[in-house]
Structures are given as structure tokens and as C-alpha cells.
A and B are shown apart, each in its own frame.
Chain A
Amino acid sequence: MHPRERRSTRRQFLFASGGTVAGLAGGDALLRAAAALGALEGAPMGPGGIPLARRNFPVTLPIYSDNEPIASGKSPEKGPLNVFNWADYVNPAIVKKFEKEFHVQVNVTTFENEEEALAKLTSGKASFDVWFATVEYLSRAVAGKLVQPLNHSYLPHLKNVWPSLQSPFYDVHSRYSVPYTIYTTGIAWRKDKIKNGPPTFSNPYDIFWQSKNYSGKVAILDDEREALTMALLRRHIYDPNTTSSKQVGQAEKDLAQLTKLVHVKTNTSDYTDVPAGSTWLSQAWSGDMAGAPSYMPKGTPVSVIGYWRPAKNAVVGSDMITLLRGAKNPVLGHMFLNFILDNKVGVENFSWNGYIPPLNVINPEKLVAQGYIPKNLTSTIVRESDFKHGLSILPLTTQGQTVWQDAWSTFKAGG
């Protein structure tokens, strides 16, 4: 099952426990310093005074005096280790391996989307050690003191990670997170149904607006940010975090055109629809198409699937693993993070969930040679250069979120 699936079918509230909100108003020197820094640089300010990270404005997340990393050199706890993760996002075989190696039990609890996850985490009732987070929610989690800073002495495997992700712009020095998977957003299509795929267009995104012949077989992601961003990219606006209502409004109008032209569908089931042939052209995540071989119906070769994303300015997403502040097994948790970053483990995990870990050992040619990825889908592999030259969908201010949500609501109204 796809981790991003059903992102839109839940409505969850976050329990802003009195403590977290009050704590933010309190006077933490580091906090105020960060706020001042952000104000000087002109970066958008996020909750708790932590500036919202942008590629050209990297953020060093603050370490609060009442939330410091654990001491070095401690021995691991007895467990059980409680892991909080997206559904079907970590290979159960890997979890078993960890259990064997460290002689502990691991409990994996799953969630369907971040809001649901945060609701559980802030309710005060949950007791997890490890949490798989996303960029969008990291700064909030830090501001709300949900996650604890990491002690890198327990994380020797961090050097296996791409250099540019060992100290990413959203978490300089990897204070709170280690990267887990990396993926791009591109266009998937059926080569046997569509003669002229995206690469044949001078502006590949245009294929959607010229797909009248495939009416009813075209889909975009049911994701506010991803869908509107594609419209922005088509117009060569390479800022998926713009808060200009003019730009976002134009993007919405472009998408509305698609509704009229081709009866565009919005869903996140591209990973089954494209192999099944009920959708011929879809916006898709790289991991979706990497997993296509297991969804192909009998008799249809996987070579009919095509996936394209731009070499530069592709939307690159990354998920990360964090350690929760109330973790009962912080040392064990560190070891779990370290374990995931092991080269062998990373590849084994990828072979199961189809999402690339940003490890140096990942060699696209080898992946194809070893049969992990079919030859026609090498574009689903994400390389470090993709990340370096890519765009990230990042958290916005409340006003920014409102602009985007209003545009999405207008699009969904189908006027």
C-alpha cells in the first residue's frame, strides 16, 4: 500500500495540549534568537518563532534547554521499542532483523496521514520512541517540543547518506532528523496507449493540457500542494512555496481548465490505475511507478509504463525519521535510526517499499542490473543531483496555507 494514500480521507484535529502552546510563548533565549535571526533575514516565520526553512535559507533548528539530547555512551534499553510509522512503509523483515540483532521487541504502530499522527502524538496518550516524519511537520514538531535532538555519537551510519542530506537545509547538522526516503513527483503514462509521451513535448507538463483524446483517462494527484505546483511548474514558476495569490490563482485556473478539457480525475491511486490501464496519464510519485511491476495485470508487460520527471527543478520530497521527546528507549531509538541507515538494510528496505533511501551506495545501474527496477523505469531512481537541483514543498505561514487552500477549494468546487 502506498504511504501517501488516503491522505485526504481523514479529518483529524491536533490536540494542542495546553503545555505546548504555552511553552512556545515562554521566553527561551535560543528561541528568541532564532526569531530575531529569521526576522533579519526575511524568511517566513513559522510557529514558535522558528523560521520556515527554504532552500536558500537553511534553518538550524533550536535546541531548547529543557529538551536536550541524551548523553553519549549509554547502553541500550531493554525495549520494547515503539515505532510510529506510515502504514506499509518499513519492511517487516528489517524490523525482525533489528529485533534479532539487538534482542528486543519492536512494536510498529501505523498512521494514515500526518495530521492523524500529530493528533496522536500531541494527545499525550501515546508513548512512542521513533516517529517517521515529513519536512512539512518537522519545524512544528520541534516548536511543539514533540521530538528530541539527536546525539550523533550513536549514529555512525549517518555518513552513508548523501552529503547534501547529512546536513539538509531544513535541519542543518541533522539536529532532529535523519533522512529516510527520497522521491520525485513526475508524470506516469502508458506508452502503449499514448504515442507522444511527456518527453516529446517542449514543455512536458503541457501533455495534460493537450490530452483531450484521452478524456477520462487522465489523473492528477489529489494533493493540494502537488497538483497546484505542477501547474506552477508548467508556467515556469519554480517556487512551490509561493504565497502569491496571483500565481496560485492562475495555477488553479489552469487546473480548472483540465477539469473541463479532459474530465481530470483526482486521486492517489495512480500506482494501481496506471498498471491496470484505467488511467493512461497521471501525475505520480516515483515510488509509485517503481512498484508498478507488482501491480501489472497478467499479460501486460511492465515495459508499457513510462515515468518522466525533469532533470532540474523536479519536485523532490523526502521523509525522515525522528526521535520523540517522551521516548522511553532513546538509546535504542538511536540505534534503530542508525540501523535503518545501514547500507544493506537500506537496499533491502527499498526492495520492499520501492522508495529510494538517499544512501551513497545506491547505484542506479546496479539497481537495474539486480532487477530491482525495470529498465524503462530508471527515471524513478532519485540521484543526489536531483535533490541538489530539485524543488521542495515546504511548510507555509498561515496566510500562505490559506491562499493555497482557497485555490484548492475553488478547484474542487469544479466551477
Chain B
Amino acid sequence: MTRRWFWPSFALPGAAWLVLLFLVPTYAVLAVAFGTVDPIFNNPVPVWNPLHWQFATMRSVLDDLRPGHVFWVVFVRTFEYVGISLAGCLAIGYPVAYYLARHARRTKALLLVLLIIPFWVSYLMRMLAWIGLLLPDGLVNKTLMDVGVLSHPYGWLDGQASSVILALIYGYVPYLILPLYASLDRIAPQVLEAGRDLGASPISTFLHVTLPLSRHGILAASVLIALPMFGDYYTNDVISGSPRTSMIGNQINLFFQGGPQRTVGAGLVIVLSLLLAVLMSYYLWVTVRASRTETIL
């Protein structure tokens, strides 16, 4: 029966790749976090057999996760930044996605092109663009001083949480708008018309028809940008040179740059993954459900 194996065989190379280079490495993180360290060169020595796992590292990581301790502080700050940035992204992104999906008939094509462009501009280049503007002698300071709001240049890049959050919003909002637009686009206009026909005001239609219908789209798009944002460390590194705004990605990065505690870095990765597992499983559930109903996702 060559038929039964015909299609799965196409999937085999890709699946094998993912097993070897995605699944197994994930286990390696566990093996390292529960492993030891070779003292000569500070290399991590993974322990593959769960029966021989060493728990000292994870115990110290969890110890520092208690409220008030090092990792707790950073995790809380990360959650804050991601939360605020997500809210900002939604506040900006939803109106834009909505406008694109429901209106803008004539200019739709142009707007879509403009929307897609930042998507294809490297994230770091967009950060580069903002840093150029936020430098002490950059355009932002110049304009604000010309207008009279500032009397001397402000240090936007000197460890300001607001700069980091704004950068996160700027960087991630394109990744939110497109899927949001796609899901809003799928809402049949007849449904909205029905709402209007039945006498609802525009605002009421929005609140009671559009918003609930786009609920899944909002959640999916939010998860889509929240997940990478949690692991983001480079935005903080380039926008702020200060420990005051460091995120959990920065801590993980620290342990992988040298020293004898790469196991701690691996442990932090595990903690981060567990915390995000809730978000991840929700997204996967939505995606699988949608793909099973053969909707374009």
C-alpha cells in the first residue's frame, strides 16, 4: 500500500529536522539545568539521564525567584513592560487594523503596502532609526527644544523605562496589526449590517458585535507578540544602557556570556518557558482549532 506512506513521507525530512534541532535541544536545556559544570573551562556538563539529575542549580534559581529577590524583581519588571507594551500596541494597532479591515476601500491597497513595509524592515534597523532620533543632539530633542518644551537635551537613551517601552511598542506593533487585520477582515460585513439594521448605534455595534467577534483575533495576535517580547533583551540593550530596565532575557544572557553558571542560565530558560507555557498552549489550541476548520490562518 504505497498510498498510505505517500504523503507522510513528504513530511518526514522536515519532521526529522524539527525533532533533531528543536525537540532534542529543548531536552538539552533540561539536561544542562539539571547537570553540572566542568571546573576547568566552565563548560556545562549535561546529565541526560533524569535519574541522575542534580537539583542544586534549580533550587538556587527558585530561591532567587522568591519575592524581593533578584530574579523576582526582573520577572516582575518584564511582566510590567510586556503588559504595558501590549496595551500600547493594542491601543494603536486595533484602530488601524479595524480601519483597514472595515473601511478604507479606495486607499486599502496603499495602506496595506505601507503596513507591510515595516514588517520587512529589520527590527534592529527600526531601533537604529529611533536611536538616531533620540540621541542628545537628535531630532526629538531638537524639536522639543525648539518648541520650548525642553530647555536642555533630555537623556532618552540613558536608562529610561519609558524609552524601552516605547521602543518595544514601536518594534512589535507591526507584528500585531497584520494578524489582527486578517482576523477582522474575516468578519462578514453582513453581521455588522444586521446589527445596524436592528437599530444599534455605531458605538453599540462596535461594543456588542465587532469587539466580541474579534476577541479571538485580539487574543491570538496579543499572544503572538507577547511571547517573543518576554524573551527580548536586545531592545533593552540598545535603548537603555542601564540595569534599571533590564528584562529577564538580559539575565539569561548574562549567564551565557561567561563564568561557571551557564546551568543557571538554562534554569532561567526553563522557568521562562514554563511561565509562557500557558500562553503558548492557548495559542496552539486556537491555531489547531482554526486550521482544522480549514480557515486561512
Residues of A near any B CB (own CB < 8 A): 8-11, 13-16, 20-21, 24, 47-48, 115, 118, 122, 140, 143-144, 216-217, 219, 224, 259, 263-267, 278, 398, 401-402, 404-406, 408-415
The answer for the CA separation of A401 and B259 in the assembled complex, in Å, is: 7
15 A-B residue pairings within 8 Å (CB atoms): A9-B257, A11-B258, A14-B42, A16-B43, A20-B40, A24-B40, A115-B257, A140-B40, A144-B41, A216-B159, A401-B42, A412-B243, A412-B250, A413-B74, A413-B246
**A21 and B241: CB pair below 8 A?**
no
Task: Judge whether B85 is part of the interface by a CB distance below 8 angstroms.
Answer: no
The answer for the CA separation of A341 and B158 in the assembled complex, in Å, is: 43
**A401 and B260: CB pair below 8 A?**
yes
The answer for the CA separation of A410 and B158 in the assembled complex, in Å, is: 20
**A267 and B241: CB pair below 8 A?**
yes
A16-B43, A48-B40, A140-B41 given; A398·B242 CB < 8 A:
no
A residues less than 8 Å from B73 (CB atoms): 413-415
Please report which residues of chain B, range 250-272, place their CB below 8 angstroms from some CB of chain A when the two chains form the complex: 250-251, 253-262
**B70 and A415: CB pair below 8 A?**
yes
- Residue of A143, A219, A264, A405 near B259 (CB, 8 A) is A405
B residues less than 8 Å from A412 (CB atoms): 243, 246, 250-251, 254
Q: How far is the CB of B260 from chain A (nearest CB, A)?
A: 5
A residues less than 8 Å from B136 (CB atoms): 278
The answer for the CA separation of A267 and B240 in the assembled complex, in Å, is: 11
A409-B70, A414-B73, A415-B73 given; A10·B257 CB < 8 A:
yes
The answer for the CA separation of A408 and B77 in the assembled complex, in Å, is: 18
- Residue of A216, A404, A414 near B246 (CB, 8 A) is A414
- Residue of A9, A216, A259, A405 near B155 (CB, 8 A) is A216
B residues less than 8 Å from A402 (CB atoms): 259-261
Which residue in chain B gives the minimum CB-CB distance to A412? B243
The answer for the CA separation of A370 and B39 in the assembled complex, in Å, is: 48
- Residue of A9, A115, A414 near B243 (CB, 8 A) is A414
The answer for the CA separation of A24 and B41 in the assembled complex, in Å, is: 12
**A118 and B241: CB pair below 8 A?**
no
- Residue of A11, A14, A259, A267 near B253 (CB, 8 A) is A11
**B159 and A265: CB pair below 8 A?**
yes
Which residue in chain A gives the minimum CB-CB distance to B258? A115
B residues less than 8 Å from A411 (CB atoms): 243
The answer for the CA separation of A24 and B242 in the assembled complex, in Å, is: 41
Task: Judge whether B80 is part of the interface by a CB distance below 8 angstroms.
Answer: no
**A16 and B70: CB pair below 8 A?**
no
B residues less than 8 Å from A219 (CB atoms): 241
**A410 and B70: CB pair below 8 A?**
yes
Task: Judge whether B227 is part of the interface by a CB distance below 8 angstroms.
Answer: no
Task: Judge whether B38 is part of the interface by a CB distance below 8 angstroms.
Answer: yes
A residues less than 8 Å from B250 (CB atoms): 412
The answer for the CA separation of A412 and B255 in the assembled complex, in Å, is: 11
A residues less than 8 Å from B260 (CB atoms): 398, 401-402, 405
Interface string of B269-295 (1 = CB under 8 A from A): 000000000000000000000000000
Which residue in chain B gives the minimum CB-CB distance to A260? B244
Interface centre among A15, A401, A402, A409 (most CB of B within 10 A): A409
**A13 and B242: CB pair below 8 A?**
no
Task: Judge whether B71 is part of the interface by a CB distance below 8 angstroms.
Answer: yes
Please report which residues of chain B, range 17-51, place their CB below 8 angstroms from some CB of chain A when the two chains form the complex: 37-43
Closest 6 A/B residue pairs (Cβ): A414-B243, A47-B40, A14-B41, A216-B158, A216-B155, A265-B241
**A144 and B40: CB pair below 8 A?**
yes
The answer for the CA separation of A16 and B70 in the assembled complex, in Å, is: 31
**A263 and B244: CB pair below 8 A?**
yes
A residues less than 8 Å from B155 (CB atoms): 216-217, 263
The answer for the CA separation of A10 and B258 in the assembled complex, in Å, is: 9
Which residue in chain A gives the minimum CB-CB distance to B60? A406
A408-B254, A409-B251, A412-B250 given; A265·B40 CB < 8 A:
no
**B74 and A21: CB pair below 8 A?**
no
A401-B260, A402-B260, A405-B259 given; A13·B70 CB < 8 A:
no
Seed contacts A398-B37, A401-B260, A405-B259; 18 additional CB < 8 Å A-B pairs: A9-B257, A11-B256, A15-B43, A16-B38, A47-B41, A140-B40, A143-B40, A217-B155, A217-B158, A219-B241, A263-B155, A401-B259, A402-B260, A402-B261, A413-B246, A414-B243, A414-B244, A415-B74
Task: Judge whether B245 is part of the interface by a CB distance below 8 angstroms.
Answer: yes
The answer for the CA separation of A265 and B246 in the assembled complex, in Å, is: 12
The answer for the CA separation of A143 and B136 in the assembled complex, in Å, is: 49
**A263 and B259: CB pair below 8 A?**
no
A residues less than 8 Å from B70 (CB atoms): 409-410, 413, 415
**A263 and B40: CB pair below 8 A?**
no
A266-B241, A267-B241, A401-B259 given; A409·B41 CB < 8 A:
no
Which residue in chain B gives the minimum CB-CB distance to A10? B257
Q: How far is the CB of B142 from chain A (nearest CB, A)?
A: 16
The answer for the CA separation of A412 and B265 in the assembled complex, in Å, is: 14
A residues less than 8 Å from B244 (CB atoms): 259, 263, 414
Which residue in chain A gives the minimum CB-CB distance to B71? A413
**A405 and B261: CB pair below 8 A?**
yes
A10-B257, A411-B243, A412-B250 given; A47·B39 CB < 8 A:
yes
**A259 and B42: CB pair below 8 A?**
no
Which residue in chain B gives the minimum CB-CB distance to A265? B241
Q: How far is the CB of A38 from chain B (nearest CB, A)?
A: 15
Please report which residues of chain B, range 98-143, place their CB below 8 angstroms from some CB of chain A when the two chains form the complex: 136
A residues less than 8 Å from B241 (CB atoms): 219, 265-267
- Residue of A11, A16, A401, A406 near B257 (CB, 8 A) is A11
Which residue in chain A gives the minimum CB-CB distance to B248? A413
A11-B253, A409-B70, A413-B74 given; A263·B158 CB < 8 A:
yes
B residues less than 8 Å from A409 (CB atoms): 70, 251, 254-255
The answer for the CA separation of A326 and B246 in the assembled complex, in Å, is: 43
A14-B43, A143-B40, A265-B158 given; A405·B242 CB < 8 A:
no
Q: How far is the CB of B132 from chain A (nearest CB, A)?
A: 14
